Amino acid sequence: MKIVEYKITPIAFADPPLRSAFGLHAPYALRTIVELVSDDGISGVSETHGGAAVVDELLALGDLLVGRDPFRLAELEAMIWGGARGDGTSKPWEGKLSSPARTFGAIEVACLDMIGKATGRPVCDLLGGQVRERVPFSAYLFYKHAGAGGQWGLGNDPAVPADAPGWPAMRQREALSPAALVGQARAMVAEFGFQSLKLKAGVLPPDDEIATIRLLRENFGPGVPLRIDPNTAWSLATSVRCARELDGLLEYYEDPVAGRAAMAELASHTRLPLATNMCCVSFADLPDAIGLGSVQIILGDHHFWGGLRASVELARICRTWGLGLSMHSNSHLGISLAAMAHLAAAVPNLTYACDTHYPWQSEELIAGGKLRFEEGALAVPAGPGLGVTIDQAELARMHAQYLACGLHYRDDAAEMQKIEPGWQLALPRW
């Protein structure tokens, strides 16, 4: 079996004006689609981060991939990471990839999709087999400005009246107060059935965000786990103070302060479990994070940990050292969601509901439309490989959006300055 075609397609899709400590989401989110085709006509697909730099790095691997056996992933991984070859020669991609983990991860998922289709097995079976058929996800709550994103920007999609009931209208409404976030949470839970709630914080003053958590607890009761993620917008002193305020309210406390040393210091002042997808994001970070006791829960992400097989290795390390495991998310579509579900299905100790931005996205490029959550969980897509295929017409439309929107990298600070001139990224802010 040989790879004979390799295609990279940058895409853009509508993203509402969501807030974080880093600023404001642009009207379009960027992603990159990888497509492989074998000599016997079997395809493999994946989805990864977007932007010109990601596209350039993936395109650079064309000569390496065409003609290669997709089963020989270990050899391919070694070559991408360091140019290792049996004959000792080097290749021009050595030292020229800003993120070999992300680049290899995108290729690996597409290869596993192809292998699954060739063998008639789902990707989760290639990772060791299913331990769960349904993967729980958490509602991801954002402070936000009014607007649908995409061509409407800060305005509403006229096909969805702003005062209409339900999630399609709620995802367009402004939510910049504790009460508005509770309304957002109610609509999201009603639509998707999520049974845990995560608040993207670092936007309003900390006391307002603590008030939001308290109001969520009051409205949803003690049986719904709550999480907060200030994205390092809080100083150590503020994080310690907020930990006292949040004690007994949170399932975990994610990245309130920057750096492994500061997180370890915070851990000495609180019994809240500390989680991260910022201070430990690679295997090289693990010894320091474990040695210092910086975190108790790691939010893995196959897009930047090096793919699905690497994420299974991460899970084993977490099990060995007694660390909890959850899953990080960014703005994504159904190919990434399917890969996340296959991974989570095959990892016994991924016991926390996974993050996902998926409800915030109104567009989709997989055939059959958006994947559906039931009672807050996603059934692992049926069929060989990832269990999803690309709608080529939608892929072409989203590629045209990428070309037309003029965005080639993500810059939340620049977007924030469009509505608040003079705004500057400052971490910590409080």
Question: What's the N-to-C CA distance of the chain in angstroms?
Answer: 56
Paired with 3 in beta bridges are: 38
- Residue 198: active-site member: no
Q: By the 8 A CB rule, do 303 and 336 touch?
A: yes
Backbone phi, then psi, for 291, in 5-degree steps? Answer: -65, -40
- β-bridge partners, 28: 14
**324-327/226-229 β-pairing:** unpaired
* Alpha-carbon distances, residue 230 vs 105, 143, 220, 258, 425 (angstroms): 27, 12, 21, 10, 14
DSSP 398: H
Find the catalytic residue in 25, 198, 200, 342. Answer: 200
Compute the distance between CA of residue 365 and CA of residue 348 in angstroms, rounded to an integer.
Answer: 30
In whole angstroms, give the CA distance from residue 1 to residue 70.
7
Contact 115, 71 (CB under 8 A): yes
Q: How far is CA 50 from the centre of its chain?
A: 12
Task: For residues 370 and 143, give the distance between their C-alpha atoms in angstroms, rounded to a whole number.
Answer: 24
- How far apart, in whole angstroms, are the C-alpha atoms of residue 35 and residue 366? 13
* Sheet strands (E) in 69-129: none
Residue 30 pairs in a beta bridge with 12
- Choose among 256, 279, 263: nearest CA to 21: 256
Q: What are the b/e assignments for 16-36, b being 16+ CB within 10 Å? A: bbbbbbbbbbbbbbbbbbbbb
Is 96 designated active site? no
Rounded to an integer, what distance in angstroms lies between the CA atom of residue 169 and that of residue 25? 18
CA distances from 70 to 34, 43, 139, 291 (A): 14, 11, 36, 37
Distance CA 339, CA 46 (A): 8
User: Which of 328, 332, 342, 357 is flagged as catalytic?
Assistant: 328
Catalytic residues: 200, 328
